[in-house]
């Protein structure tokens, strides 16, 4: 572990929960952002099928 000296400054009983908490908060922020800014993500979580895209052939 190349950052082993961090535990001389911060006790592992404090640092590990802080790190895990920060990861959890970051994940919640990312998922909340996806849910509020996209229409497909909520549908994906609800198990709805994806909308079909129909390709139109170019006119000649």
Question: Residue positions in the annotated binding site for a bacteriochlorophyll?
Answer: 31
- SS3 of residue 55 by DSSP: coil
Answer whether 40's CB lies under 8 Å from 50's CB. yes
Report the binding-site residues.
31
15 phi and psi angles, rounded to 5 deg: -70, -40
């Amino acid at each position: 572990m190349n950052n082993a000296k961090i535990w001389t400054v911060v006790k592992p009983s404090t640092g590990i929960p802080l790190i895990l908490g920060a990861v959890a908060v970051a994940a919640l922020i990312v998922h909340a952002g996806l849910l509020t800014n996209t229409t497909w993500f909520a549908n994906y979580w609800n198990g709805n099928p994806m909308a079909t895209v129909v390709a139109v052939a170019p006119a000649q």
